[in-house]
Each structure stands twice: as C-alpha cells, then as structure tokens.
Amino acid sequence: MILEVKNLHVSIENKEIVKGVNLKVKEGEVHVIMGHNGSGKTTLARSIMGYPKLKPTQGDILVDGQSIVGLSVDKRAKLGLFLAFQNPVEVEGVGFINFLHNAKESISGSVNTKELMTDIRSNAVNLKMVENLVGRSLNQGFSGGEKKKAEVLQIGVLKPKIAILDEPDSGLDIDAVRIVAQNINEIAKKTGMGLVIITHYSRILSYMEPQFVHVMTDGKIVAEGGKELIEKLEKEGYESFSNGSK
C-alpha cells in the first residue's frame, strides 16, 4: 500500500493549519514527522484518517493512487490505515476485548477468536501491560501510559498496512518509551507495515530506525532527510528550521 499526501491544505474554523504538505509512505517504511507543538502534525494525521471536521481545502490524499478524501473514517480503516491517538478516547461500559473483537471483525471481515485472544495476550505481555484487560472498559480507568500501550496493542492486533502514531511517547516514563518503541519495531518487522511516527521528542527515536525524517513547522514540511536530521534537530532546535531552510 502507498499512502500519498499531495499539497494538502486543511483549515479549522477558517484558519489554515496544514499548508500544503506532501508525503509519501510505503508499506515497510518508517517515517518520522517532527515538529514543535502547534506545527500542524496532529491535524495532518487526523485529516489523513478522515476526521469529518477536517476537510481538505486543497490537495489530495491518495491510497494506491486513488483519492480517499470522500471516504468515511471506517472505510479508511478498512483500507488499512490506522491512527494511534495522541489522547485515546474513553468509552464507558464498552469492554476492551469485545471492542477489539468487533474492530477486528469490521476490518478483516471475520475473526478467529482464539487467534485474536492469543494476539491480544502476547501483545499485552510484550507491552508489559500488567493489569488484566478482560472485563475492563475501553481506555476507561487506564493510566496515561496504559492508554498509549493499548494503542500499540491495537496496532499489533488489527495489523493495519500503514499506522500513523500521534505522539506515542508523550506522557510515558523512560522505561515505557523503550517498551513502546521496541513493540512498534517488532510489530512493524513482523507484519511489514509502514509507520509514521509523530513526535516532538527524539528520545523514542533512539530506539527506532527511521528511514525518512520530516520536520514540520507552521503547517509545512520544512526539511526532509534521514536519521541525521534528528541529530541536527537535537543540536539546533526547531528554530533553525522555521525560516524554511530545506
């Protein structure tokens, strides 16, 4: 699967947040989008997933050459896109396992419960999710760290083709960042999925091997390169990129 974002412009309440972004992600690739708070990273991710209030004003989003701009969120998920939320939503009274079962069924058309349970269990163990997930409501009563881990668990279970992870590291302690990163790597390696990691800290990246690094400021991608870009960012900060140097 190839996800392509072409000259994408997105506005919220008439204020342009994403100002002409281009991005091309293939299965098996690891991309990183870095940028400070408010640079438009999250809006970009959410508009790719199809949040109804983020209709592109210009440009296009394509999967395998076909525009998905007209598709509802669930259809995009069924195509193989996944968005790990920065702030995963709590849903009262909805069992986590049951929810995963329904999600898996919707995406794959059918579900083998035994395999699913094995998958959930092994992912939970790998992620060191201590609490028993059975009987718990979706993200409700989960700690910040657990929520993030639960998002990664969902990636491991739902096996999308391209997963966008919106700040999978925020609010995590050092150990948890490592565990989350290692699991993301492991899942991607196993399934060959493409990854887009959105972050503004480089810590998580020290455990990963991104091939493509994109720096985003003020709704635009202002620099692109390999892993070396991360070091540059570490040293010079986002400031040095804000003038549009590329």
Partner 1 sequence: MMVVMAGNDNELLGYADEEYKERYGFSDKTEYTYKTEKGLSENVVREISKVKGEPDWMLEKRLTGYKVFKNKPVPTWGADLSGIDFDDVYYYLKPTGKKEDAWEKVPEDIKKTFDKLGIPEAERKFFAGAEIQYDSEVVYGHVREELDKQGVIFTDTDSAIKKYPELVKKYFGTVIPASDNKFAALNTAVFSGGSFIYVPKGVKVAMPLQAYFRINAEKAGQFERTLIVADEGSDVTYIEGCLPADELVSRGDTFQRIDTIKEGDAVPTHTGGTQKVNKKFIHLHKGTMLEIMPLSKGNSFKLTGEHPVLCVKRKNVLEKRKPRKNWKPEVSTMSLLSIDPEFVKAENLEEGDFIVYVAPKLTKNDPQFDETTLKILGLYLAEGSVSSNKALHGIKSVSFSFGKSKKESLLANEVNLLIHEKGFKSSVCRSKGGYYIVSSYAKELVALCEDNCGKGAKTKLLSEKIMKLPALKQKILIDYYWKGDGNIYHRYGKDMLRASTASRFLAYQIQEILARNGIFANLNIRRGGFDTILGRKIERSDQYIIEYTEGKKIGEVRKKGNTFFVPIKQIKKYEFNDLVYNFSVNKDESYLVKGFAVHNCTAPIYMSSSLHSAVVEIIVHKDAHVRYVTIQNWSRNVYNLVTQRAFAYENAHMEWIDANIGSKVNMKYPSVYLKERGAKGEILSVAVAGENQVQDSGGKMLHLAPDTTSKIISKSVSKKNGVSSYRGQLYVAKNASNVKSTVRCDALLLSKESKTNTYPYMDIKTDDATITHEAVVGKIGDEQLFYLMSRGLTEEEALTTIVLGFIDPLTKALPMEYSLELKRLIKLDTSNSVA
| Site membership for partner 1, residue 134 (CB under 8 A) | no
| Site membership for partner 1, residue 13 (CB under 8 A) | no
Largest CA distance in the chain: 54
| Site membership for partner 1, residue 110 (CB under 8 A) | yes
| Site membership for partner 1, residue 118 (CB under 8 A) | no
Residue type present at position 116: L
| Site membership for partner 1, residue 92 (CB under 8 A) | yes
Task: Confirm if 28 and 84 have CB atoms less than 8 A apart.
Answer: no
Nearer to partner 1, 110 or 245 (CB): 110
| Site membership for partner 1, residue 138 (CB under 8 A) | yes
Dihedral (C-alpha) 176, 141, 165, 96: value to the nearest 10 degrees? 110
Single out the segment in contact with partner 1 by CB under 8 A; choices: 44-52, 182-190, 206-214, 230-238: 44-52
| Site membership for partner 1, residue 106 (CB under 8 A) | yes
| Site membership for partner 1, residue 174 (CB under 8 A) | no
- What is the rounded CA–CA span in Å between residue 174 and residue 176? 5
- Which of 24, 38, 64, 105 binds partner 1 (CB under 8 A)? It is 105
Provide the minimum distance between the beta carbon of 154 and partner 1 in the complex, in angstroms, as a whole number: 7
Nearest to 220 by CA among 46, 7, 59: 7
Provide the minimum distance between the beta carbon of 24 and partner 1 in the complex, in angstroms, as a whole number: 21
Residues contacting 122, CB < 8 A, separation 6+: none
Q: Measured in Å, how far apart are the chain's first and last C-alpha atoms?
A: 28
Task: Confirm if 25 and 228 have CB atoms less than 8 A apart.
Answer: no
Distances (CA, A) of 64 to 25, 34, 44: 10, 25, 19
| Site membership for partner 1, residue 99 (CB under 8 A) | yes
Provide the minimum distance between the beta carbon of 192 and partner 1 in the complex, in angstroms, as a whole number: 20
- Which of 113, 143, 206, 211 binds partner 1 (CB under 8 A)? It is 113
- Which of 1, 62, 97, 111 binds partner 1 (CB under 8 A)? It is 111
CA angle 69, 100, 152 (to 5 degrees): 75
Provide the minimum distance between the beta carbon of 182 and partner 1 in the complex, in angstroms, as a whole number: 23
| Site membership for partner 1, residue 173 (CB under 8 A) | no
Burial class of 112 by CB neighbour count within 10 A (0 to 12, 13 to 18, 19+): exposed
| Site membership for partner 1, residue 44 (CB under 8 A) | no
Binding region for partner 1 (CB under 8 A):
46, 49-53, 72-74, 76-78, 82-83, 85, 88-89, 91-94, 99, 102-107, 110-114, 117, 137-138, 154, 158
